[in-house]
Chain A
Amino acid sequence: MIEAPDLSLSALSPFLFVFGAALVGVLVESFAPRHVRQPTQVALALVGTVGGFACTLLLAGRGEVTAAGALAVDGAGLFLQATIAGLGALSVLLFAERALDPARSAFVASAAVPAGSPRDRELLTDERVQTEVYPLATFAVGGMMLFVAANDLLVMFIALEVLSLPLYLICGLSRRRRLLSQEAAVKYFLLGAFASAFFLYGLALVYGATGTVQLAGIRQSVTDDGTGTLLVLGLGLLVVGLMFKASVAPFHTWTPDVYQGAPTPVTAFMAACTKVAAFGAILRLLYVAFGTADWTWRPLVYGIAIVSMVVGAVLGLTQTDVKRMLAYSSIAHAGFLLTGVIGLDAGTGSGLAATLFYLLAYGLTTVGAFAVVTLVRDGDGEATALAQWAGLARRSPLTAAIMTFLLLALAGIPLTSGFTGKFAVFRAAIEVGAWPLAVVALVTSAVAGFFYLRLVVLMYFSEPAEDGPSVGVPGLPTTIVLAVTVAATLVLGVVPGSVLDLADGAARLVG
């Protein structure tokens, strides 16, 4: 007789909401006539993500382990789930924008038509859209929320795949520049599958060393029996798999290509939500399972953090494309986030709260920055070459001002959320004595600041080219996204106190 595991349905409600919406979306795709699909799917995806967001807020303050120890419902997990669901809802709004482009959508009309064929050119300005992107994105949001709550390596692996597989697909569904988009999807898929194989081998080795895949069981085994070669090797492979998803150098090689090739709303979604999810899983794995043996991971993470900050900042200097530049910026930010992970000192450090706050601030700013990228267009779609942004402030002072503000936030200038976040993670690192890391982080912040400011200078102090791009008038969805992200970036920078307190109160991992 097998006993059914104890399932707390209320604790599972965010997942039920998001996955439910995604499944209904699949049914709509199968049975609804084509002309009603787009509005229905957008509404469903928004209901799913906003509903998931609301459910996590209702659960605030809970701390329990449910589903036979497979899921942890705790402060940090709920904070990250709310962040992911909220950023996911903003991304869905960007997906839904139809007013900007004569091509009517960022997503292809029919993915099955070969790129560049006569039929494909006919469909370029067609009304119809491959509306599967909405359920796929909702599945990805659900996978990400599961990823940060997984208290078991198997569930973590399944969540990793549930979030990755839909992302591989929607990367390849751009309406314009389809070859680039498909190439990005192939690269992301092959490298992503390669990385998840490493994660899985790490899982197998940890299982062999400890006899369990539950994080609490691994912690128990590490505390009682110490760490052997097999366990450390397994941990290393698990970290490689997770760092890949978080686009941390030296596992970053896919990031610039995929960020550039994917449709910009998808890039915004990936840059913000995947990063939050991957760091949630990294925090939980390192803190819950290996918190009592931190010598096994601290030197590794320390080194990777330095490499990531340096690679992101230095290679970001050489970029000539806005999306690639933001991709290298995301690699550098992954390094800054890892300084917060280093600041995780068993129970006492402020690293966990600092990392949670940083993830929220970075996610909001990044979605906003990519939303601005969708506005700047020429006859061929988005104009992403840096040279085309010259003199943008003359054409559209408001767009240039918004982009400047968001870039300053990414650079970490005071009175923006970026400054508060950086201050918090650097302080956490210094508190545990990792001041050399904080010094490297400060130097690389300065280097990275240069390439953000270069774009600002380009927008304000260069002559606009004759045939330069125009700035599209955004429809309601993009306007909402811009308003929310700019307001949040400002509020988190000027009066961060209440959100910092919230992150501080949420900084608890059960296991």
Chain B
Amino acid sequence: MSLTNYLVLAAILFTVGAVGVLVRRNAIVVFMCIELMLNSVNLTLVTFARSTGTLDGQVIAFFVMVVAAAEVVVGLAIIMSIYRTRRSASVDDANLLKY
């Protein structure tokens, strides 16, 4: 199977994630969509590592996983703190700051 297929799949996953961030309302789901984007980048990186014959891409994918884990810790803490006050994780309800 040609490597292009993996790149196309990764691009589709990235797009699904980006559209999800824009249209979904629940902060947790938005966050999951961002994780999907990061993982599609990992697939891209590993594919390019294969096609360019360098190891950098695979190493970077590990770094991305670690960063994504750190982001989960920080993100869930923030979403939890707002949920405990509002009893809702909808990004539409967080509308005190505007104009």
Binding site for B on A (CB under 8 A): 111-112, 114-116, 154, 157-158, 161, 165, 168-169, 172, 178-180, 182-187, 189-190, 193-194, 197, 200-201, 203-205, 207-208, 211-213, 256-257, 260-261, 318
Chain B interface residue number, banded:
35 or more
Q: Do B63 and A169 touch across chains, with their CB atoms under 8 A apart?
A: no
Q: Do B64 and A182 touch across chains, with their CB atoms under 8 A apart?
A: no
**Contact A184-B67, Cβ < 8 Å, known A203-B60, A204-B48:** no
CA distance A116 to B97 in the complex (A): 18
Partner of A208, one of B37, B48, B81, B86: B48
List the A side residues contacting B44 at CB < 8 Å.
201, 204-205, 208
Query: What 1/0 flags go to B17-47 for Cβ under 8 Å of A?
Result: 1100100000100110010011011001101
Q: Do A154 and B63 touch across chains, with their CB atoms under 8 A apart?
A: yes
Count of A-B residue pairs with CB < 8 Å: 126
Q: Do B37 and A186 touch across chains, with their CB atoms under 8 A apart?
A: no
Besides the contacts A193-B34, A208-B52, what 20 more A-B pairs have beta carbons closer than 8 Å? Answer: A154-B63, A168-B75, A179-B85, A183-B94, A185-B78, A185-B82, A190-B21, A190-B34, A194-B34, A197-B14, A197-B18, A200-B38, A201-B14, A204-B45, A204-B60, A205-B44, A207-B52, A208-B44, A213-B56, A256-B97
**Contact A207-B45, Cβ < 8 Å, known A158-B63, A168-B74:** yes
CA distance A260 to B85 in the complex (A): 20
List the A side residues contacting B84 at CB < 8 Å.
114
CA distance A207 to B57 in the complex (A): 8
List the A side residues contacting B52 at CB < 8 Å.
207-208, 211
Q: Is B12 an interface residue (CB 8 A)?
A: no
Q: What residue in chain A is nearest B94 (Cβ atoms)?
A: A183
Min distance, Cβ B66 to any Cβ of chain A, angstroms: 9
List the B side residues contacting A184 at CB < 8 Å.
97
Partner of B82, one of A182, A204, A318: A182
Q: What residue in chain A is nearest B47 (Cβ atoms)?
A: A208
Min distance, Cβ B39 to any Cβ of chain A, angstroms: 10
Q: Is B16 an interface residue (CB 8 A)?
A: no
Q: Is B9 an interface residue (CB 8 A)?
A: no
Q: Do B27 and A207 touch across chains, with their CB atoms under 8 A apart?
A: no
Min distance, Cβ B89 to any Cβ of chain A, angstroms: 9
List the A side residues contacting B1 at CB < 8 Å.
none
Q: Do B31 and A172 touch across chains, with their CB atoms under 8 A apart?
A: no
CA distance A190 to B54 in the complex (A): 33
- Residues in B77-99 with C-beta less than 8 Å from chain A: 77-79, 81-82, 84-86, 91, 94, 96-99
Partner of B78, one of A172, A197, A204, A261: A172
Q: Is B51 an interface residue (CB 8 A)?
A: yes
CA distance A152 to B63 in the complex (A): 14
Min distance, Cβ B3 to any Cβ of chain A, angstroms: 10
**Contact A197-B91, Cβ < 8 Å, known A114-B85, A183-B97:** no
List the B side residues contacting A112 at CB < 8 Å.
81
Partner of A200, one of B41, B77, B78, B79: B41
Min distance, Cβ A240 to any Cβ of chain B, angstroms: 12
Q: What residue in chain A is nearest B72 (Cβ atoms)?
A: A193
Output the residue of B77, B81, B91 with the most chain A CB within 10 A.
B81
Partner of B97, one of A169, A180, A213: A180
Output the residue of B52, B78, B82, B85 with the most chain A CB within 10 A.
B78
Q: Do A207 and B48 touch across chains, with their CB atoms under 8 A apart?
A: yes
CA distance A178 to B41 in the complex (A): 35
Q: Do A213 and B60 touch across chains, with their CB atoms under 8 A apart?
A: yes
Partner of B27, one of A190, A212, A257, A318: A190
CA distance A185 to B82 in the complex (A): 9
